[in-house]
Structure 1
Amino acid sequence: MTGRDAGTVAGRVPLAGRWARPGVRRRTTVGDVVATYLPDGYVQLEPARWFSLPDAGPVAEHPDLLDAHGHLVASIGVLLLEGPGWRLLVDAGLGPAHVPASATHASLGVMVGGGLVEHAGEIGAVDAVVVTHAHDDHVGWARAGWPGFAGLARVPHLVGAGERAPSGWGVLRDGDEVVPGVRVLATPGHTHGHVSLVVDGGAGRLLVAGDVLHSPVQVPHPGLGSCFDVDPGASARSRARVLAELAVPGTVGAVTHFADVPFGVVRDGRWVPLPDGD
């Protein structure tokens, strides 16, 4: 779903504007697992440069995804996953930073972080921090030592094999079980050691995609890959693998860069956002 026909979700949650604005706190429940998206900030993506296209291409077919400056809006945030007897934090945001437009790459507009500290009390104590990959907008608070987050610097930090991560972080491989019911899905390509997570909620499952996907436009157009992919071929295979997993009945997706629609299902080749669970 990325069109103007998609005015509401489940007939009750208005979508106007959510496709092109930074994410806010959102929550969904899958069986006995609760997933909460907690925002840290956002980054603007210049569509043609981000997808290495000569022009806006397929993105032009989905104007609802573009902000007033013609950028895709990629939220930056983390997922708090809570299951029977365990709590995990997925990713570590950008941290307290404000990067001007094009300061680091021509495909990027403004990049802003720092908002996650407002949710420190909700994060509380966790069993581990799972990092999908070691890019700045996924490790920022961890590299800064988690200032303002009591105890988080001392819990295990886990990252995929092949990632360049701080010493002392644990290593995850395809098929590893992080906690009961949370399995690692190796999805290399955006980075060499990128991982996703498949979470068994009993009645349904949650798939945490990480940066296999950056925008809902990639659901109907899976051939679009990021200019930052270190291995475009592997990235395309991982994207196909994740989209196939998302097509399995009973699977909810969690994609933190998807503007203000981070939780959804894939239906008829579209991203269909879910209503909030609270």
Structure 2
Amino acid sequence: MSPSTRYTVTSIVDGFPGKSASHGAFGWSSAHLALGSDRVVLIETGPPSYIPLLTAGLAAHGLTPSDVTDVLLTHAHWDHLSNIMMFPRARVWIGAGELDWARSLPDDAPFMSRLHIDELHRRGDDVGRVRDGDNILPGITVIDTPGHTPGHLAYELDARDGPMIFAGDAVKNVYELSTGEVDSTLDRTASQASIDRLRARMSATGALLVPGHDVPLRWDTGTAQRVRPQFAQIDFFATSHHPALDRSITDGSA
């Protein structure tokens, strides 16, 4: 891929590392748009609540969901693939082993959406089933990153401002890249090895890493740093003007 055709990458939604003990995972995952010379690539689709955010993010670039040519999925959890049906002309890419594993699970398996997993299987050869080292599109390479799920993958992308790695939930946030300690993994040892692999790749190439639930990160002399502040704004559904109820919360400390 020549420098003139490298991808221009923008964030549609910055992920946020939040969860609730009483209401389960928020599912606020990262979603990014990568524009190439002839490709409109969406990296992750987020949970169902992202539908208006994705539509607005595309519209800001003069695009509609029908313009998306490719959707890259790091793994099969609901908060990363739940909007695949928004993109009728896109080829969806997912790990071959990941999809096989997801289909083997019972219907009540945590964090899975049987509807969307079955839809990917139904599409057959129209879904790109990828493996470690595959160059699935010009300037996009697959990296094997198991642990969080058995067939989890990351994608390294040749971006205009330098290489970027979309790590999904192999690295969910700045804490995991910093420490190598992971939350919510099916294989802790494999997850730690995947983080080591991604750190080494970042050191070798200077790549930025986009976590599954945080803003992009740098890895500089053994230290993980956010490239911009992390925040989430939360509004209450309240009609009262009582100051304790009718307000927004901005959290800049996560």
Pick from 192, 195, 198: which aligns with 2:156? Answer: 198
Quickly say closer, same or farther: Cα 1:200–1:193, change in 2 above 3 A.
Answer: same
Quickly say closer, same or farther: Cα 1:267–1:74, change in 2 above 3 A.
Answer: farther
8 Å Cα contact 1:41-1:114 kept in structure 2: no
1:156-193 CA deviation, whole Å, 9 max, x = no partner? 11100222232123201111112111111111111111
8 Å Cα contact 1:95-1:114 kept in structure 2: no
1:19 maps to: none
Which structure shows the higher helix fraction? 2
8 Å Cα contact 1:177-1:183 kept in structure 2: yes
Matched to 2:54, the amino acid is L
Q: Once the 2 structures are TM-superposed, how far is the Cα of residue 44 of structure 1 from its aligned partner?
A: 2.0
The DSSP-based 3-state class of the residue aligned with 1:248 is: helix
Using structure 2 for the length normalisation, give the TM-score.
0.67
Q: Once the 2 structures are TM-superposed, how far is the Cα of residue 267 of structure 1 from its aligned partner?
A: 0.9
8 Å Cα contact 1:40-1:93 kept in structure 2: no
Which structure 1 segments of 5+ residues have no match? 1-29, 50-71, 98-112, 147-151
Q: RMSD of the alignment, in Å?
A: 3.1
Alignment of 1:92-131 (within 5 A): 92-96=45-49, 115-121=53-59, 122=61, 124=64, 125-131=67-73
The DSSP-based 3-state class of the residue aligned with 1:189 is: coil
8 Å Cα contact 1:196-1:210 kept in structure 2: yes
Q: Once the 2 structures are TM-superposed, how far is the Cα of residue 114 of structure 1 from its aligned partner?
A: 5.5
Matched to 2:137, the amino acid is V
2:9 maps to: 35
Q: Once the 2 structures are TM-superposed, how far is the Cα of residue 208 of structure 1 from its aligned partner?
A: 1.2
Q: Distance in 2 between matches of 1:34 and 1:120?
A: 13
1:233 maps to: 189
Q: Once the 2 structures are TM-superposed, how far is the Cα of residue 249 of structure 1 from its aligned partner?
A: 4.2
Q: Distance in 1 between matches of 2:225 and 2:192?
A: 22
Which structure 2 segments of 5+ residues have no match? 103-116, 230-254
The DSSP-based 3-state class of the residue aligned with 2:186 is: coil
Quickly say closer, same or farther: Cα 1:210–1:31, change in 2 above 3 A.
Answer: farther
8 Å Cα contact 2:27-2:47 kept in structure 1: no
1:210 partnered with 2:168: yes
The structure, 1 or 2, with the larger RCO (C-alpha pairs under 8 Å, 6+ apart) is 1
Pick from 152, 158, 161: which aligns with 2:93? Answer: 158
1:7 maps to: none
Matched to 1:157, the amino acid is V
Q: How many residues align?
A: 197
The DSSP-based 3-state class of the residue aligned with 2:129 is: strand
1:183 maps to: 141
